[in-house]
Amino acid sequence: MGQARQTVERLQLGLALTRLRGRANKSQGEAGAVINRSASRLSQVENGKGALGTEELVKLLDYFGVRGQERETILALGAAARRRSTRRGYVDNLPEPFQRLVELQAAARQINWYECGIVPGLVQSPDYIRAIMRLSNSIYWDSSEAETVERILFREEHQRRVLEIGEPKQIDIVFTEDSLDHVIGDASVMRGQLLHLLQLLERQVNIRVVPNGTANNPALGGGLVVLDFPQATPVSFASVLHGPYTYYDQPEDIEPMQRIFTRVQELALSSEDTRMLLIDRLKEAK
């Protein structure tokens, strides 16, 4: 059987099955035997290069002990992965979309992330995360301290999985300088965020700032992320205030988003000049 075309849905399914198999402490050979497939065939699926039939997926989920909503989500993702019709974008309307977002970022070889007006989530300091989640409580979700704490912990785990676990990645972060003017929490939180960015620069995370007053920025008012994978086509998505992410994996969408990111990189300060800007702002904040 030939390999299926890689799509966002197949990547998400493969990463989810890899996570569930690891959680069940099963090898690819053991899992493959349950559905009469070789370890190499299951490896193709886990790498986003194939899909499984409903019966095969049910047997695997039974073997992994997956129940409830998580099981229904994986079955729905399996159905999406089996579709062969061409589409411009995949809207992830399934439960726990942020789990799949993090899995995609953790699997990526290169992450290009741009934001306008806010510090990107991957490089937010712990206090910035707590402040932004608490101000979102009762606005983006019903007032719930438990959910707020859960979202804080999830964002921190997101950063750990992407920045600290697995193979080193090429991470390029670009954001507009006004992100540092918009106070989240209070002045002490913003000082801590400046220090956090400087520490990340020391860890070789490539962070660059587009200065205030920069002319002809083609990405004002928006944000985007482009993910490149070792053995899969790139995936991109644009930041949204509310609602599900729409992922893109077709050249007609990926290529302009890559060009946008290249342009904001050209407009941004160098890493060293960004360091100096952050230091100057830290001095001013005292």
Tens-place pLDDT, residues 145-173: 999 999 999 999 999 999 988 788 999 99
Dump pLDDT digits (tens) for 118-145: 999 999 999 999 999 999 999 999 999 9
pTM of the model: 0.89
Distance of CA 73 to the CA centre of its chain: 19
Q: pLDDT band at residue 84, thresholds of 50, 70 and 90? A: confident
**pLDDT score recorded for residue 1:** 42
Structure tokens at 57: 């997926």
Interatomic CA distance for residues 56 and 37, integer angstroms: 9
Interatomic CA distance for residues 196 and 190, integer angstroms: 10
Parts of the chain belonging to CATH 3.30.870? 97-285
Structure tokens at 277: 């800007």
Helix-strand-coil split of the chain, %, nearest 5: 55, 10, 35
**pLDDT score recorded for residue 127:** 97
CATH number of 8-85: 1.10.260.40
CB 224 within 8 A of CB 257: yes
Report the SS3 class of residue 45.
helix
Mean pLDDT across 263-275: 97
Q: Assign domain 97-285 to a CATH class.
A: alpha beta
Parts of the chain belonging to CATH 1.10.260.40? 8-85
